Amino acid sequence: MDTSTNSAGTIGEDQYKSFLIDEQLLGESASGVVYKVKDTRTGNHFVKKILPRTVGPAKSFQHELKYLKEMDHRNIVKFFGAYIQPGGVDIVVLMGFCEGGSLEAVIERIRKINARVSEPVVAKIGEGVFSGLHYLHSKRVTHRGIKPSNILLSRNGMVKLCNFDISGNLQESFASSWTGMDMFLAPERVTGGQYSITADVWSAALSLLTLAQNRSPFPEHLDGMMELAIWIVKGDIPQLMDETVEQNGLEEVKWSDEMKDFISLCLTRDGMRRPKPSEALNHPWLALIALQSVNMAKWMREIRG
């Protein structure tokens, strides 16, 4: 069962131990382990993250968990509970499970079946991403890690943002790695300078561009993280371009002028000139698409096969 929007109460440590069983290893890295788990009482599924507590005292951790519990928005993955394991070494966090998987997995699936995504679908996903960001930013929270792997989808195609961080204290634990998210970092973050909520806007637009073009938005010839970092800061800014049959080997692809303008504005290199999430939502491209009916559930079924 999809629990990404479940409003059930927070699950405490005793419930973790008594009722949850590990069903599937979803991911493992230096920053932690992620499992799909099942509540044996209800049959509901959740995501359990075991994270090393590398920074911050327990009191600070508890404060941040309280803040996470208060997050309540349709485009934010539901937080159910957490605790520090005995000995204070690891943190166990329980979040809602999204049956649709990540946008990263969706992009990989689209490539595998040699398909393309329509503009209304990209816009609907964009609307969900920017609505979630607007909510986070209204709480004075900068996500810091927007990328396709942190944009989840319910089985009905509802966008859910995950792995956001309240103050930066848990950043090392929640982010998979710097190298795993470098392609989507805003220029000001690559240079280590000061950044604001508009850094998330760059990352979100780049994620949508990757979905639309079905490929990396950066040149293939870039060799390694350093060349990519230099390109993000000084190279040509990625643009949404129409494609001919000769270019992609599939079909002619044309995007609206409104969509091209939206991507261009959000990928302004100067973060001070980039729109905030609230401003992005009012852009004609997203404002108009919000009024349209797009059967995201049907699209998800087609993608999943």
Do 63 and 123 belong to one domain? no
Whether residue 178 is predicted with pLDDT greater than 60 in this model: the reply is no
Domains contained in the chain, number: 2
Which of the residue ranges 72-76, 85-89, 299-303 would you say has the lowest mean pLDDT?
Answer: 85-89
CATH number of the domain where residue 207 is located: 1.10.510.10
Q: What does the pLDDT average to over 205-229?
A: 92
Q: Which has the closest alpha carbon to 136: 201, 73, 64, 194?
A: 73
CA atoms of 173 and 127, how far apart (whole Å): 28
**pLDDT tens-digit series, residues 21-59:** 888 888 876 667 888 999 888 889 998 888 776 655 555
CA atoms of 282 and 231, how far apart (whole Å): 30
Domain boundary among the residues 96, 131, 153 is at 96
Do 170 and 50 belong to one domain? no
**pLDDT tens-digit series, residues 60-77:** 566 667 777 888 999 999
Domain boundary among the residues 76, 96, 116 is at 96
- Dihedral angle, C-alpha 277, 279, 284, 285, nearest 10 °: -20
Query: What predicted TM-score, i.e. pTM, was given to this entire model?
Result: 0.85
Token output for 158: 């509802």
